Structures are given as structure tokens and as C-alpha cells.
Structure 1
Amino acid sequence: MSQPTTLFDKIWDAHVVKAMDDGPDAVFIDRHFIHEVTSPQAFDGLRKRGIGVFNISRTTATADHNVPTKDQHLPIKEALSRHQVETLRKNCTDFGIELYDLGHPFQGIVHIIGPELGLTLPGMTIVCGDSHTSTHGALGNVAFGIGTSEVEQVLATQCILQYKPKRMRININGQLGKGVTSKDIILYVIAQISASGATGYFVEYAGDTIRSLSMEARMTICNMSIEMGARGGLIAPDETTFEYIRGRRFAPQGEAFDRAVERWRELKTDEGAVFDLELNYRAEDIGPMITYGTNPGMGISVDSHVPNLSEIPQSELASYTKSLAYMGLEPGMELIGKPVDYVFIGSCTNARIEDLRTVAEFVKGKTKAEGVEVWIVPGSVQVSNQAKAEGLDQVFISAGFELREPGCSACLGMNEDKVPAGKYCISTSNRNFEGRQGQGARTFLASPIMAAAAAVTGKVTDVRELV
């Protein structure tokens, strides 16, 4: 009788081309996503070696990080951003790779277009030169970010050398409370184990709370696996997964889809499989979360307080006080009522149609607070078109929100959408590092509905008081 096996091991082992004693595995990659930021040097490496892309049909390119989110029909104003996107265009043309460029109906943030187009499927291995590639694991696959030299490796061979991570399972069971979302689940978990607590692990999320979530909510959780140091995160596929995939552009169709589902049903952790570490949490313990510091592990329930110095280990005091100084906050203070200047609803964490629907439902009939700038940035052209077809754009316009065009936008200071120095932004993105949203910008991470509450009140608000 075979040994009980984890879902991660099943997928990884099925893709090992060669295992080396005391060395990395050579792992075959089913789908390689590329964008304009981490691919230029990789293509230059191929040119210097005089070789092409090994399998262009398994490589998908889009422009997302550097693109403006206004006037995308015009030339890009920022010189560096323009150069990055133009270089991607040239590389894709030279090497024969299809590019979902500005103006293409499939353009969007790389981790949003994969699942929505049916390019991301259960049982796959997926890589991209982007740390939030773990998003794709929500569909039951092994997906992780890689560096530029590894991008070249995959382009050249369709394989990658990787040491096999340890296995962790995080179980969450119970009923989520009012105003609590998947973003709150993952911010809570990261706050519990710290921004480095899962270093060296690949995480499987399990439990009845996870199974109750929509696919888009599961993607939010897997997206932020890297924010606790994990190599990636995944969730076993189930009926929710299969219905999400059904009918998508590049997914199997008809009888081929039915046969695929039969295979996908086998993608689960066996009873009795052993993890290197297993953690358990109760959904009832999770409130609407907000970060207060400069890494995603510095998070609290919105009705709690910034930790006092006595609550911080001595070894972390210096970095803790530096973080609070950057944020302009004091130990022990409450965040409820703290005025905000900007609200950003977008990024590969929370820019899917479900996120926009949640925000629109909440703000319908309301208007933004005076002095607050609100940016709604869809994650893809398809999300943008769907939002307009459902009339969500009119809800946002009536509320005084600015609905922009697809891109990574204010998640990171790589394009025109930057938060000014010293200003506070409630953001649905995944990182709150110093300068992440612009030099000197101060970021609170939260869920879309928490961000919407701040947009209409002009301050940090416990969304449970408004829903």
C-alpha cells in the first residue's frame, strides 16, 4: 500500500524530470507567465546564447506593472515605464510569444488573467518572475515566483532547478463573522505567525471555512502566502473550482472538460498524510483586519490597538519603533477614527469582479468623504468590461470614486499611480513596505469592504458598524 501523500507532493513529484542526490530537482513547468519587469534580462541572456524559447505555447505575456491606468490609448508618459513595455513588445515579437498588450481584450495583471482565461488549471506547475504567483495555487496547483535568471532557465528549457520545500497545512474552520472576508483571514494568519513564519514551506490551506469560499476569495488567500515567507500556497480543487473553470476561454471544453474534472478530483491530500507543520485557527476569532506597520505581519483587528512596547519582544523593539515612526503612529493607540487621504482598491490581491461587486454594493447611494481620493483599478480588461456591463462603473462615479483602466497601479511605485509622501492610504494590495506605494507613502492594508468604509467616512472605520 502506498504512503499517504500531500497534494503538494503529488503535483511536485509528477513534474520532476530529474531528481539529484543532495541537490535540487529539475521540475517541468506547465505554464510560464511573463511581464515587462523581470523578463528583459532573461531575453538578453537567450540572445547572447543564440537560442530561442523552448516552448512558446506554454509562455504567456502581458503588460501590467508599468502601465498607466489612464489614457492607455496614448503613448506611455513615464520614460522608464515606456521603455519597459516597449522592450517587452520587442522581445515577444523577436521570440514569437503572444503578448496581451495594452488595448488587447485579455490584457491585465498577470495573476488575474491566468485564472479568468482558463490558462491556470488544477494539477499544473506555474511560475512567473513575480512573488505573488502563488495566487494561481487557489485552483489546486503548484505556483511560485522566480528570479530573472530562473525566468531565462524556464524560457530556455521549460524546466527549473528547485529544492523541494517543506510542507505546511493551515486549517481554518468555523463561520466568519459579519464584515469578515478572505483578506481578513490571510492578514490574521500572517499576524499570528509573522511575515517570516512560513519561510521554507509550501502551504496548503484547508478546513470548512476555506471550502466555503468562492474561487476569487481563495485567490486572495493564496496571493499573500509569500507575505509570511512561504514559497507558495495552494487549495485542493473541488466543485467550486470546477464550476469556476467551466467554459473559460482556454480551459478544456465539452467531453475534454468532463475527463479533466475526473482527473482533478484526485488532486487532494490523502488521509493520514504528514505535514512538517500543521496550524489550526477558528474563523470566529477573526475580525476585520488592518495593518499598522511596514510589513504585512504587523496587523490587528480594527477594534484592537497598536501593540504597546511591553507587548513586543526585546529583539524586535528597534525595528518596531522605526516602523511606527515611519507610519506616524504611537504604541497603544487605536486606529479607528484615523483620517485617511487615499483609498486604493485594486492589485492582484483584490481587483477581481467579485471585489468590485462587493465595493459597489456597499457604496451604492453613498458618496466619498471630502478630501479623500479613491481609485478603483480593475485587474484586467475583462474585469473592467464586466463591471461596466453590470453598471458598477455608474455606482462608483456617483460615489465620487475614480474608475481607472487595468494594471498593477498603486500597489507599487512603478508607474504613475503613486501616493504622495506622508499621506495615508487604505489599500487592498498585499504589501505595506516603506515606499511601496510611493516614497514616504503610509499604507494600511485591508479588505475591499474595509477600504470602501474608509472611502465614505474619510477615516479608518470598523465596517461592522456600517453593514
Structure 2
Amino acid sequence: EALRHLAKKHKLKIFDVDSPDQGIVHVISPELGIVQPGLSLICADSHTCTQGAFGALAWGVGTTDLEHALATKTLKLRKPKNMRITLMGKWPEGVSAKDAILAIISEFGASHGNGFAIEFAGPATESLNLEDRMTLCNMAIEFGAFTAIIKPDHKVTAWLNNRPYTPDNATSNIQEYIATLFSDKDAVFDDEINFDVTPLKPYVSWGSSVDQSAPIDSLVPEGNCALTPALNYMDLSVGTPLTGLKIDGAFIGSCTNGRLTDLRRAAAILKDKKIAPHVKAICVPGSSRVKAEAEQEGIDKIFLDAGFEWCESGCGFCFYAGGETFHKGARVISSTNRNFEGRQGPRVKTHIAAPETVAASAVSGFITAHNHEGH
């Protein structure tokens, strides 16, 4: 009630819980056209960098900085260093942007991007749809980055066309403007990473940090004693195969993978199948609009028929804040972005993966890739 009162007092738009536009902020901002190429945009959440997929400079802030920006329309920043991650090659069937970013973070470490603004570039980046580009940018913060950005193109223009908050509900001038938003050919970056997606396999996390991830058909890797706490928490040992680990829960949703394309891909795997009897499976669409559009396509029925719970949109089950969650100590495969201790509930052991992997694992009852039979 206090939030409603203050929003009204200061003439701020509020997307209340009963609004058809309600949802996770990083989902509703793009679908409503609030984010636009070239904008500077802040929000009191670390995954605000998601919206860099539209060529905006977007980053998360604390409440003090947010208050300062509301009062002054300014914010002081230390200029970040620049990193370019060039994705090359051809995407293998069944492999997604989620797998790519998990692979990059696992190879270089969760702190490699500290202090950097990352530009994702290259032909494999350009071939992605906007939802997958958002997944890439969303998880830049798990790389330690300040933010991430992708050069806007015709896909951005098409996405923003006729969105409620797109200026004048038209994009005729936006195309001309976004043509100016690119890095110079001779631009020098403080760090460069070239990553070939051609040999990429589905990835899954095995530890309690995002960089503790590996191809799904690999074994829990050896490491130094610093990995012992993660292995103990996850109840795993070196050499354990990741494929075939029995799961108790499966979750599809979040600002990383709770969009309509994510639900469509998962539904294609779940169609005419049932989840394993011992698995608690939950889907939380990223916004009320995503939920409504999915229901129009019958996606909700596919999830429900398979045995999933179909919930209202929001951040539920991604970030545990004392509400409903999986049972204590459950092993859960999840399409979310973080897997640290207790992230999804007391003693819950989270394995991060793409929605397709989550759906296939829910059916199998064990961690498995969707193109694998059994476990």
C-alpha cells in the first residue's frame, strides 16, 4: 500500500499485481517498449543488464543510487573497461545462448568480467533472436561484468514496432538512429574473447557458483581444495557423471529464461509426455503477458498435462525470500541464473541449465539432455 501511495503521490506509473502488464521488470520493459536503443536505463536489480540486448546501456543500482537518479536525473559512474566477446560458428541443434554463456563463464571464471562493459558481437550473436540475446546479456553479471550490450539491428526495430511505450508507436526514425549505434571497426578493447559455438554441447552447473558448470555429458571435474565446500553442499564427489543425477525438482522461468520462446521450446519437449512421479515441476512465466500469450497457444495445457504446476508470473522460485519453494535439501534443475547456497530455498541444490534441459530432465527424473534417451 505504501508503494501504491508513493507512486500516485509522485505521479509514477506502477504495474500493479492485477495489471495485464505486470511481470519481472527485465521481461516487461522490453515487451512494453520501455527500453529503447541508446537509452541509459537503471533499475534496482543486478540483472538490468538484460536490456543491453536492445543496444541500451542498462545496469543495476542500489536504492540510494535509484533515489538519487529519481531526484536529479543524473548518476555518477566510474567509466568501465571494455570487453568484446565474439561468438562465431554455427549453433548446433538443441544448444542455446544459455549453454554458451555457461560455457564462457566456466572457462574464464565468474570474476573475469569484473569492471567491464561487455559487447557481445559476431555472426553467432547476430543470428540469435532477441529473447536469446537477452539471455546472453542477462548473465553478464554472473561473469562479474558491469553490464553487457549488443549492437541493435533490424531485429530490434521489428521487436519494438508498435510496442506501447515505443515513441509515437512508430519506428520510422529509430532505424536511422540505431544505424549510428555501433563500435568503430578499429575500436580497441581492453579484453577480447573469441568463442566458437559450433562444438558446444548443453551445459549444466554442478557446484554453487555459475563458473562451476560443465557439458552435461561430462564428470564433476577435479580441482583444488577450494571446491570442497561446493561439492559438500551439492552432495557430489569428483568423477560423478552429471547425466543421470537424480533430481527432486525442476523449474522453468525467471528473467533469464521465462519468455515465450523459452516456454515454446520446453513445451515441444513436454508434449505428450509426463514428468517423473518423484519430481516437483514448476513453470512461472516471466510476465502476465507471456503467461496470457502462452495460454492462447495452449502451452499451459501442455505443461499441466505433463505434470507441471502453472503459476502466475513473477520472480517466484528463482529467489527464495521465505515463501513457497522446494523441500529442504532437494536437488533441482533450473532455468535460472544463480546457484549459490540457498538461492532457491534452504539446502536446495540448484543445477542451472537451459529450459530444454530442464524439461527433458523433469520427464526423465534425472539430469539429461533433451536429445538423449533415458539417462
| Aligned pair partner of 1:160 in 69, 75, 79 | 75
In the alignment, is residue 120 of structure 1 matched against residue 27 of structure 2? Answer: no
In the alignment, is residue 269 of structure 1 matched against residue 176 of structure 2? Answer: no
Report 1:1-150 matches (<5 A).
86-150=1-65
In the alignment, is residue 217 of structure 1 matched against residue 103 of structure 2? Answer: no
Q: Distance between the aligned counterparts of 2:330 and 2:2, measured in 1?
A: 33
Q: CA deviation at 1:419?
A: 2.2
Change (3 A) 1:415 1:235: farther
Change (3 A) 1:87 1:434: farther
Change (3 A) 1:458 1:163: same
Report 1:393-412 matches (<5 A).
393-412=300-319
Q: CA RMSD in A?
A: 1.3
| Aligned pair partner of 1:278 in 192, 195, 204 | 192
CA deviation string 1:299-326 (max 9, x = no partner): 0000111111xxx3xxxx3431001000
| Aligned pair partner of 2:279 in 366, 372, 386 | 372
Letter in 2 for 1:353: L
Residue in structure 2 matched with residue 36 of structure 1 by the alignment = none
Q: CA deviation at 1:250?
A: 1.0
Letter in 2 for 1:200: G
Letter in 1 for 2:82: R
Deviation larger for 163-172 or 412-421: 412-421
Q: SS in structure 1 opposite 2:75?
A: strand
Q: Distance between the aligned counterparts of 1:381 and 1:407, measured in 2?
A: 8
Q: SS in structure 2 opposite 1:464?
A: coil
In the alignment, is residue 432 of structure 1 matched against residue 353 of structure 2? Answer: no
Instruction: Please say if residues 184 and 446 of structure 1, whose CA atoms lie closer than 8 Å, have aligned partners that are also in contact.
Output: yes
Determine what percentage of the aligned residue pairs are the same residue. 41
Instruction: Please say if residues 269 and 370 of structure 2, whose CA atoms lie closer than 8 Å, have aligned partners that are also in contact.
Output: no
Q: SS in structure 2 opposite 1:285?
A: coil
In the alignment, is residue 324 of structure 1 matched against residue 231 of structure 2? Answer: yes
| TM-score, scaled relative to structure 2 | 0.97
Residue in structure 1 matched with residue 211 of structure 2 by the alignment = 297
Q: CA deviation at 1:89?
A: 2.2
CA deviation string 1:334-364 (max 9, x = no partner): 1111110111100000001111111111111
Q: CA deviation at 1:94?
A: 3.0
Q: CA deviation at 1:464?
A: 2.4
| Aligned pair partner of 1:206 in 94, 98, 121 | 121
Q: CA deviation at 1:253?
A: 4.4
| TM-score, scaled relative to structure 1 | 0.78
Residue in structure 1 matched with residue 201 of structure 2 by the alignment = 287
Q: SS in structure 2 opposite 1:295?
A: coil
Letter in 1 for 2:311: R
Letter in 1 for 2:199: D
Instruction: Please say if residues 205 and 352 of structure 2, whose CA atoms lie closer than 8 Å, have aligned partners that are also in contact.
Output: yes
Residue in structure 2 matched with residue 345 of structure 1 by the alignment = 252
Higher Cα radius of gyration:
1
| Aligned pair partner of 1:237 in 152, 156, 159 | 152
Unpaired runs of at least 5, structure 2: none
Q: CA deviation at 1:415?
A: 5.2
In the comparison of the two structures, how many residue pairs are matched?
Answer: 374
Unpaired runs of at least 5, structure 1: 1-85
In the alignment, is residue 181 of structure 1 matched against residue 88 of structure 2? Answer: no
Instruction: Please say if residues 178 and 464 of structure 1, whose CA atoms lie closer than 8 Å, have aligned partners that are also in contact.
Output: no
* Structure 1 stretches of 4+ moved >4 Å: none
Q: CA deviation at 1:397?
A: 1.3
